[in-house]
């Protein structure tokens, strides 16, 4: 159990403003199923157990197949993801772990093959949002499952 503060309740105005940003990004052109994959992968890369736990539960509640959830960490080797999903996961990794020199042109070109102009921008804002949430949760060591009741995640049947 973490002995650090609950930053979400200490700064309610900032939390609400960031939540509104996240809702705007989520209300854009990227479908929820794809967003779940992106949120989970970014959270894995950031070592954020709280948000990995939360987004896996959300994805399961939304009907995502359990095997695909297990395969997100090894998506490059898995046959379970579409070309569009692979492009999103690759873009997520690059935006999350910004390589020296920025995003390579060939990676950008692959993402643009899979996504329209609006979609690539919306996807990028979604990645920015989850990376922000991850950084707060990691900094304050949020405990996985500690907000399940608040976010209605008990119905995932995972504990």
Q: Output the tens digit of pLDDT for each of the chain's 159 residues.
A: 567 898 989 999 999 999 999 999 987 789 999 999 999 999 999 999 999 999 999 999 999 999 999 999 999 999 999 999 999 999 999 999 999 999 999 999 999 999 999 999 999 999 999 999 999 999 999 998 888 788 888 887 776
pTM over 0.85: yes
Q: At what angle do helices 32-45 and 117-139 cross, to 10 degrees?
A: 40
Half-sphere exposure of 93 (CA within 13 A, CB side): 13
As a dihedral over the C-alpha atoms of residue 111, residue 113, residue 114, residue 115, rounded to 10 degrees, the angle is 80
- Cα angle, residue 31 at apex, residues 96 and 120 outer, rounded to 5°: 50
Q: What token pair was written down for 39?
A: 């949120």
Structural domains for the chain: 18-142 (1.20.1290.10)
Q: What distance in Å separates the CA atoms of residue 89 and residue 72, rounded to the nearest whole number?
A: 9
Instruction: Return the H-helix or E-strand segment holding 33.
Output: helix 32-45
């Amino acid at each position: 159990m973490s002995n650090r503060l609950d930053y979400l309740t200490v700064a309610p105005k900032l939390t609400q403003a960031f939540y509104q940003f996240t809702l705007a990004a989520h209300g854009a052109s990227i479908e929820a199923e794809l967003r779940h994959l992106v949120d989970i992968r970014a959270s894995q890369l950031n070592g954020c157990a709280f948000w990995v736990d939360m987004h896996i539960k959300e994805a399961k509640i939304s009907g995502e197949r359990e095997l695909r959830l297990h395969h997100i960490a090894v998506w490059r080797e898995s046959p379970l993801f579409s070309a569009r999903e692979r492009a999103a996961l690759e873009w997520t990794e690059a935006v999350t772990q910004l390589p020296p020199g920025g995003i390579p042109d060939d990676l950008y070109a692959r993402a643009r093959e899979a996504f329209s102009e609006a979609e690539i921008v919306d996807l990028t804002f979604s990645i920015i949002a989850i990376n922000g949430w991850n950084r707060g949760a990691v900094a304050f060591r949020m405990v996985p499952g500690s907000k399940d009741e608040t976010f209605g995640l008990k119905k995932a049947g995972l504990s």
